[in-house]
Structures are given as structure tokens and as C-alpha cells.
Amino acid sequence: MLALQRQREILRLIEQEGAVRVANLARRFKVTEETIRRDLTTLENTGRVTRSHGGAVLSLSSRLEVPHQQREVLNKAEKIRIANEAVQRVSRGDALLLDASSSALFLAQQLPDMPLTVLTNSVAVVNTLADYKRIKLIGVGGTFAPMTMSFVGPSALNSLKEYHVDKLFFSCRGLDVGRGLSDSSEATAQVKQQMLQIADQRILLADHSKFGVRALAVIADLSAITELITDDRADAQQCEIIQKLGVPVTQTQTVAPDPLPDAAPDYANT
């Protein structure tokens, strides 16, 4: 296993368990404790992990909501591929509901300007679709949350109750086969719970980094979604379990770069 792969797996374990110990990780990955300490130092430098005596814990900042601007660049390539797949589920005349996730924003950026109704609590989605001529855009009111650039709270919940949509496209902070879907904020989780209630199709857009994560506030069981779109780096075992629960899983594929052409013969030296 490459160091980067091992560090990603260590981070996933810390996000899932909350804390890890050096000795246990060394046995798990069959490397020396010094190698694990270097891995934890690397992760600590990213701000996601805090070193502790004999191990590491999830940093406080990682337990809280990630600012919208940062979420837009996390795993951006994977999210764009997921959005490209998701937009194929959109049909002329659909009523869509988009949450305030960066994945839903990437989907909004892929939408064609055709007859659609888009309901959202995301300021970024509103800004993206504001100039579209044939999309009817409806904003959900409520209390503005600067961290997520979205509207939440009782007013947002009451506003959502007035609508019904064909398709919900949303994401979450954590996706775990045991705990279900979860998010970093109770207010955000409550909005997504209401969104699930008013949609016929509930399509989760979740890149591989969400798998195995148990965030603060539970949104719903996995049975609440009708489809999962993820990327080809998602945990294969968890994808299989989710499909056995009756939820179709689509994994987008990384596009391999075109091979470089063979070098032209050097006639100058012949």
C-alpha cells in the first residue's frame, strides 16, 4: 500500500472511530510504529487530525461544517464526474430539489437551460441558475447559514413542506452502512430530512470520502434514498452492502489520459 493510500485509510478510520492508536494501526497496516507516526504527522499538517499521546483524534475543525468554498475544491474531479452522471437523470419538465452541497452545485452547473423547476436552499445554486431563461427558480427562505451559504431553520422547514418535487439531488457529510446518512450540523440535517419527505426520487451524490464517516447529526437510514451515485474509489464492500439493501449504486469511472504518441524518428542523426 502506498503512503497516500494508507493515510487516506487512517483518516477514514479516525473519522469513523473518533480516535486511533499508533500500535493498533501498525499491526493493521503491517508497518512500523515510526511509519504510522509519520503518517499521523502528515495528516495533522492538513488540519484534519490532532496528535495525542499514543495516537490521534479527529480535529475539532473536522467535526464541524466545512466552509462552502473549501467543499467546492475537495475531491472536485470526482464530484464533477458524479454531477455529469446525475444530470442524465434530469428530464424536460422535471421539478428538482437541490440542497446546498457542493455536489448539487456542480450538478446545477451542468443543467441545460430547458423547462425545469428548481427548488433550492442554496445561495450558490441560485446564483448559478439566475440567468437561465427557461428554468423556474424557487428559493427556500429561512435563517442564513454563512458557513454553508444556505437557508436553514424552522422557516426553511415550513417552506419545504409546501412543495412536492420529482427528484431530489443531495449529498451529506457521512455515509455509513450502520448509521446511515449524517451531517455536521443538526440544522442542516433537519433540512435534508424534510427534503427527503417531499421528493419522489431521492438521489444521493456522495464521493468516496463520505464512506464510513459518522458525522454529528443523523439524517436518515440508507433505505430513504432511491439511488446512490458515487465514484470508482468508493469502498467496494460498502457499495455491495448498499446494493443488497435495494439501493442501486452507480460508480463513475476515472477517465484515463490518452497515451502519449510514439516519439517521431530523429532523422537528423540518420
What are the tens digits of pLDDT across the range 233-255?
998 999 999 999 999 999 999 86
In a shared domain, residues 85 and 161: yes
SS3 167: strand
Closest to 22 (Cα-Cα) out of 8, 6, 36, 35:
36
Question: Is 160's pLDDT higher than 80?
Answer: yes
In a shared domain, residues 56 and 141: no
In a shared domain, residues 43 and 124: no
In a shared domain, residues 160 and 77: yes
Specify the range with the lowest mean pLDDT, choosing from 60-69, 146-155, 178-187, 202-211: 60-69
In a shared domain, residues 37 and 76: no
In a shared domain, residues 102 and 191: yes
* Helix extents (H) in the chain: 3-17, 22-29, 33-45, 60-63, 68-71, 76-86, 102-110, 123-129, 154-160, 186-197, 236-244
In a shared domain, residues 14 and 34: yes
In a shared domain, residues 154 and 32: no
Q: What angle do CA 102, 257, 89 make, to 5 degrees?
A: 40
Cell of 218: 443523523
List all residues 6 or more positions away from 158 whose beta carbon is below 8 Å from its beta carbon.
Answer: none
Is residue 95 within a helix (H) or strand (E), and if so which, with residue range? strand 95-98
Question: Is 63's pLDDT higher than 80?
Answer: no
Question: Is 126's pLDDT higher than 50?
Answer: yes
In a shared domain, residues 123 and 226: yes
In a shared domain, residues 18 and 148: no
**Structural domain boundaries, residue 95:** 68-252
CATH number, residue 183 = 3.40.50.1360
Average pLDDT over residues 168-190: 91
Question: Is 81's pLDDT higher than 80?
Answer: yes
Average pLDDT over residues 179-186: 89
In a shared domain, residues 184 and 55: no
CATH number, residue 13 = 1.10.10.10
In a shared domain, residues 30 and 88: no
Q: Is residue 237 situated within a structural domain? A: yes
Q: Is residue 202 situated within a structural domain? A: yes
Buried-exposed string 131-160: b where 16+ CB fall within 10 A, e elsewhere? ebeebebeebebeebebbbbbbeeebbebb
